[in-house]
Structure 1
């Protein structure tokens, strides 16, 4: 199982609304994530907008591509895109750049 961690930056003026939006993620979105291989998926948000994502999957590129092919993901990304800084025209999920794991205590 591949462990993936990534960073994004939520606009500081949208942090509270971002938190609210994630209190009730659409059932269809949660089901699509599970069906496309996103497991043990968590998001952590610091007050200054630093967002840390973590998930486990067999193949991150395949899991991301499978989500890209879903209608619910397109709708979610369209709604959430304005929350983020420095996307350079990309959808938030396309801007995920996995960090290199340098240590893991099993």
Structure 2
């Protein structure tokens, strides 16, 4: 099982909107994540907009490919993109760059 941690930055003025969207996440999006093999997925958000994501998957590349193929994911990413800083022309999920794990206590 791969453990993936990543960071993104939510625009300060969009923090409340971002929280509200995730409090009412689309059931089809949850299903797509589960079908793609994302497990134990959490998002943590600081008041300054720092977003830390964590999930586990058997195969990151395969999970990302499955999400890219899910039409609901494209819709969700489009809806969320305006909430983030520094995306350029990409969608939020294309900016998931796994952090290097340096310690793990089991």
* Bin for the TM-score computed over the shorter chain: over 0.9
Q: Which residue of 2 aligns with 1:90?
A: 90
Which ranges in structure 1 are unaligned for 5 or more consecutive residues?
A: none
- What corresponds to 1:11 in structure 2? 11
**TM-score using structure 1 length:** 0.98
Q: Any gaps of 5 or more consecutive residues in structure 2?
A: none
CA RMSD of aligned residues (A): 0.5
Aligned length: 106
Matches within 5 A, 1:1-106: 1-106=1-106
What SS does structure 1 have at the residue aligned with 2:44? strand
Cα drift, residue 12 of structure 1: 0.5
Give the 3-state SS of the residue equivalent to 1:97 in structure 2: coil
What is the TM-score of this pair, normalised by structure 2?
0.98
The whole-number CA distance in structure 1 between the counterparts of 2:16 and 2:68 is 26
**In structure 2, distance between residues paired with 1:72 and 1:43:** 19
**2-structure distance, mates of 1:95, 1:50:** 14
Deviant stretches of 4+, over 2 Å: none
Displacement after TM superposition at 1:60 (Å):
0.9
| Alpha-carbon distance between aligned partners in 1 of 2:73 and 2:17, rounded to the nearest angstrom | 19
